[in-house]
Structure 1
Amino acid sequence: MNPREVAARLLADISRQRWTELPALYAEDAVVEQPFNPTPVTLTGRDAIADHFAGAAALPLRITADNVVTHQTTDPEVIVVEYDYLTENTTTGHTATVHNIQVLRVRAGRIVASRDYHDHAALAAAAR
């Protein structure tokens, strides 16, 4: 898959709550940085990324990607994706919209690096 296809698959699988399938989109030694997390996070390796997605699966939160805009860059491995998460707390019924940007580096059909600019405070509030 090319970078655009990988990004589309990532967001489709998140929207379908396919948390256990998501790590396969990442290279074994992928690095995911989340600099906007209240305590910045760096996930290194597919196992750490799988643990992160397992944590997301445990939340009472349904997440759907919406308003997706994909930007090509001059680097054929890098793509920038802007989108909203439409969230629904499955316990309380509360809904929210959370804005996101991801910068993905894809090589040989796998994400090798990602900088995820999510509004983590808004996601945490949506999960409460």
Structure 2
Amino acid sequence: MSVPRELFERMWPHWLGPVTGEADLLTEDVVLEMPFARPGGPARVVGREEVLAFVTTGRAALPARLDGVRCLAVHETVDPDVIVVEYEITGTSALTGRRASLPFVGVLGARDGRVALWREYQDTAGIARALSGHPG
């Protein structure tokens, strides 16, 4: 199994609960990129402590409970330290009680057995719809 694939398999279970143990998975200079960040949100966060603080704050503000992650596909790249992952996250809105699953794509770059890059492509409009309960 490739190091990036193993890191992804170790990373996603942390998304379902409080931010604990994730620091061990990240390089000190890890880069979190969100090319389709929600309006007003950062598109890039650099550094382990900064990323953990951003993730902790984001999870606390998320009006939903994340219930599960399902890996749909892992694509190897020409760089053995980089994979592209298609996955979906299922959650339940705290506002509506509605359960929804949404697709994501992530690019994971590894260095020295840790995550050095996590670039996540989110459907921010789909997330907003799922949380609000509005179909369109």
Rounded Cα–Cα distance in structure 1 between residues aligned with 2:80 and 2:119: 17
* Unpaired runs of at least 5, structure 2: none
What is the TM-score of this pair, normalised by structure 1?
0.85
Q: CA deviation at 1:107?
A: 1.0
Q: Please tell me the root mean square deviation across aligned C-alpha atoms, in Å.
A: 2.0
Rounded Cα–Cα distance in structure 1 between residues aligned with 2:85 and 2:36: 16
Q: State the number of aligned residues.
A: 127
- Equivalent runs, 1:51-70 vs 2, <5 Å: 51-58=53-60, 59-63=62-66, 64-70=68-74
1:57-106 deviations in Å (ceiling 9; x for gaps): 31232222124311111211101110111111235311122110001111
Does residue 42 (structure 1) correspond to residue 30 (structure 2)? The answer is no
| Identical counterparts, % of pairs | 34
* Unpaired runs of at least 5, structure 1: none
What is the TM-score of this pair, normalised by structure 2?
0.81
Change (3 A) 1:52 1:121: farther
Give runs of ≥4 in structure 1 deviating > 3 Å: 124-128
Secondary structure of 2:78's match? coil
Residue aligning to 1:4: 5
Secondary structure of 1:70's match? strand
Residue aligning to 1:100: 104
